[in-house]
Each structure stands twice: as C-alpha cells, then as structure tokens.
Structure 1
C-alpha cells in the first residue's frame, strides 16, 4: 500500500453541483488496478484524528446492508465529515462512483500486547464479477508503527480468485506490505486483496475504522481522464510483484488488462506484450477459395 503522488487539480463539484472532491488520475487508477490498493497518507486533519479516538471507542451505529451513502450517516457526523474530505471523496467517487451503497462498517480495536495475527484472507467469497468490484475504506486515526501491528497486505493479489481464508495457511509472501503510516491515513482496498491485521505488540491501543462500499453505477471513466494516454498508465499496469510465479504472474497482468478494458470501455487496450489480444482473436472472414460452411437449416 504505497503512498500516492500528488493528485491533479479537478473541479470540486459536478455540473449538477454535487460535491465530488479531488478525483484520481488515470495513473492512480492504473496503480489501483495493478496493486489492488490506494493509500492516501495523512489526509485527515489532526483535529479530526483526535476526535476519532473517542468516536471509535464509543462504537458506531448499525448501518443496514445496501444503504445509499447519503442516507447512511447523520448530517454533521464524524463519518460524514470524514467522507467529505476532498481527497477521500474524490478517491471514493473515482473508484465506485456517486452515491455508492454501504455494505457494512466496523471498528477494529487492538489492545496493547493483545490479539493474534489474522490469517491472510480476502473479504469475499469467490467473486466472479469481471466488470465490477467493491472497495473497502480503512482509516487509521493514529500513527501506526511496526510494533502496533498495522494491516498486512499482498500487492497484486486481488484478481487471483480465492475463497475468503483459502490463503490463511500462508505466513509470509515475498513483497508483502505491512502498513506503517502517519496519523490520518486512509487506504482503499479492492475487495479481493489478500490482507490481515497483525498482532499489537506496542503499549498503545490501536484503532482502525473500515467501510465497505458497493457501486450503484457502472464503474467506467469515473476519474479524471485527462492523462488517460500517459505512458505511465501502461507502466503501472505492467508491474511485476516478487511473489508472482512466472506463469501465474502472466495471468495477473492478463486480468488487469481485462479490468482496464472494462473501466475505460476500450476493448482494444493491451500492454506491450499482447496478453489479451491473442486470446480474444476470433476471425470471422472466410479465406479466399474456401467452401462456405453450410448449417443443417441450409441443407434442409
């Protein structure tokens, strides 16, 4: 979960006056498609982070599954203000569009020297959707040190279909990322990313608040597309991670291309190596001089 680069300047509202924050760039979206995570360091102000410690300690009211975001949290509540921060609102809109539905939310608390490391898992059963994904927001109101047991994740694991804790027997993978971050950091995860909370070995109570969002619109060109043809888009989508096996690593990039085609509507997009193009080749022309194929209906 690497730190993001500076976002481009974009309009604060839509043509209808709806707040949308600072939208992600195409390069950032490509990074999310490849890595399965997007990290925004220290985007929540110090005052809100201090307030969050009390709010999270008190617990959150239940939000029924499928509640539209505008109806999920009370006006002026801490969560509503968190989600209206420009970078948070812009990233959320770029990933799942306007007015997503809340799947669920939860406060995770790790006591000092308490808890066990979670098994590596994905937050879903086997999910076969090729054209949609849910996003999980994870907010850390405190600085998270290595000893505090921040979330561990495996970059680029989200498009390898597994069922929840199928990966639980794996203890460490090359290139895994154990979160260490400043206070006020927000991370967005693809629902399929392999991750797990670590044990808290520090003297400090550690808080994390998460919300899972489901899109209610087609996830196509929702971000700032002015840099859609930036060469860095291809570079991000073609990245290789240390834990990939040689053959399966090719499949990961193949699946990224499929997702990028869906997100952009460009059915011809491919990387320098034609991962998808060669597999989707379906010629329809008849070779000169060949006999036409007759169906049973023609014969009758």
Structure 2
C-alpha cells in the first residue's frame, strides 16, 4: 500500500487520545456510494484470508475491502497506529438480526497480553446509521490496558462511563485489541451490519503519525484523563500504563509530566559505603 499523505496521518493529540481511551472514531468517513454497496457485499460474505497475510495482499480479490482500507483517512489511521504493511490477523462480518434479544458478554479480544510496547488494532466499519435501539458496540473507555483474559469481564454490567455506539453511516472505529467491548442486542426492526479487521504490526510502533504537535500541551491533558469507572487508587495504574505506552510510542522514556513512572522506576545504583567499611579509606592517624 502507498505511504499515506502527511495530512491524513493522525496527530499527536489524536494518538494521545487513543492511548488514553483505547479507541479512535472517524464519523462518516466512508462515502455514501460505498455504504449503499456494503450491505449486499457483507450479506454475500468476505472470503477468508490466511492468518498473517500482509494487508497489501489480503484483499486484492475483494475490491470493496481494498477500497475501504485505501481510503485516505482510513489508510492514514492504519499507518499511524500499526505502521506500514501490517498483517491481517483475521476479519469477520457481524450481523445483528432485527429484534435479536441476545447481547455479547463484555470482553477483550485477547488472552492476557503483557506486551508493554506493541498492540494490535481492530478496524470496525458501520455501513448504516446506527441508532441506540440497533445495539451498536458497547465499549468501556480507558479499559484497554487493564490486564484481563478475554471474557473475564463478562460478569460486569453497566460500568460508569461505558459508551454504546450511535453513529452515522460510513463510520470507522479503531480499537486497541485490549479494550472491553461487546455487541448489544438489536431492539430495532432493521438488521445491523458491521465489518471488522484485526491488524498486527510488523514494525516498532514508534513515531508513525504526524509529529507536528508532539509537544502540544493538549497531549498531556489527553493522557491525564480519568474515567468514571476507575477506582480512586487502582485507577492510577491506568495512567501509569498509558504513560509507559506513550514513552514506547514516542521513543522517549523521559516523558512523565506527573512523575507516575519516575517515582516507581527510581532504583539508584550508586553505593556510598561508610568509611569504616571501606578497606581503601585512609586510616586516621592518632
């Protein structure tokens, strides 16, 4: 795939928002003609792709998906988050039938993942207007760096600050693979369609976006967000984890505006021995 134009890459503020929330949303980014075509394409199904296929090769026989990932804004977001030529982990068409009374458990799309400096990204494309009654994807902002194992969170219900997607047709949402989410039941009379692709990076995810605003004060404000479901004490771990991730993404291990990481990383190695225990110290002459 060609390198995206600089103007279509994410900004540092947008990247910081992704690091803090675990998602990045692009409303109505897919043109209407593609949205109108999408339902028939998704009904027919998207041919399978072997795990680990480079994105540039994965959908050469599926014109619609190829057009989707090559849209300038979409391609720019993919490059900013996972870099050039990511691999396709898997893809899927999700259809929530009209008046379907079943919802997914809250879950993350990974086993416990302790990578501190890399992450996968899921693209979710919604070709229709999604109303609240249609049961758009529920997600919990800021949950992506809380270490859980797939459906361990399935027993949780109605977390403060959770969001249910309501969006115009053509919306694309990028999710960190660890964010807690789940499709809701569809209480409308319209089938709801969603297409997703999970991408694996093939390069270090370091400074892949537009860096013009890297030192903008808004970056620190985005990274310092607190979400309503956070516990007063344990919630601080989320800020610690996102600062560590931002350090990895920027290649700057000194970035720490509130010193969350600095305090617990301080392990001095210099030893100051007492003179009486130093065999090389000069002996005092009486």
TM-score when scaled to structure 2? 0.94
Cα distance in 1, alignment partners of residues 197 and 262 from structure 2: 37
SS of 2:133 mapped into structure 1? helix
Give the superposed CA RMSD.
1.6
Cα distance in 1, alignment partners of residues 2 and 70 from structure 2: 11
Q: Which residue of 2 aligns with 1:136?
A: 122
1:20 corresponds to 2:4: yes
Q: Which residue of 1 aligns with 2:33?
A: 47
Q: Which residue of 2 aligns with 1:198?
A: 184
Deviation at 1:131, TM superposition (A): 0.9
Cα distance in 2, alignment partners of residues 79 and 218 from structure 1: 25
1:33 corresponds to 2:43: no
Q: Which residue of 2 aligns with 1:274?
A: 259
1:102 corresponds to 2:88: yes
Deviation at 1:142, TM superposition (A): 0.2
- Out of 149, 164, 180, the position equivalent to 1:178 is 164
Q: Where do 5+ consecutive residues of structure 1 fail to align?
A: 1-16, 295-300
Q: Which residue of 1 aligns with 2:284?
A: none
- Out of 226, 231, 237, the position equivalent to 1:245 is 231
Q: Would you say how many aligned residue pairs link Structure 1 and Structure 2?
A: 277
Higher helix share: 2
Cα distance in 2, alignment partners of residues 113 and 248 from structure 1: 39
Cα distance in 1, alignment partners of residues 62 and 139 from structure 2: 33
Deviation at 1:285, TM superposition (A): 2.7
Deviation at 1:228, TM superposition (A): 0.3
Deviation at 1:284, TM superposition (A): 2.6
SS of 1:80 mapped into structure 2? helix
Cα distance in 2, alignment partners of residues 245 and 266 from structure 1: 28
Deviation at 1:111, TM superposition (A): 1.1
SS of 1:200 mapped into structure 2? coil
Deviation at 1:62, TM superposition (A): 0.5
Cα distance in 2, alignment partners of residues 287 and 247 from structure 1: 35
Q: Cα–Cα, structure 1 residues 57 and 76, in superposed 2: closer, same or farther, change >3 Å?
A: closer
Q: Where do 5+ consecutive residues of structure 2 fail to align?
A: 281-286
Q: Which residue of 2 aligns with 1:234?
A: 220
Tell me which stretches of 4 or more aligned residues in structure 1 moved more than 2 Å.
284-294
Q: Point out the more displaced range, 23-32 or 280-289.
A: 280-289
SS of 2:40 mapped into structure 1? helix
Deviation at 1:114, TM superposition (A): 1.4
Deviation at 1:74, TM superposition (A): 1.4
Cα distance in 2, alignment partners of residues 156 and 292 from structure 1: 52
SS of 1:256 mapped into structure 2? helix
Deviation at 1:283, TM superposition (A): 1.6
Cα distance in 2, alignment partners of residues 242 and 281 from structure 1: 30
Cα distance in 2, alignment partners of residues 163 and 121 from structure 1: 8
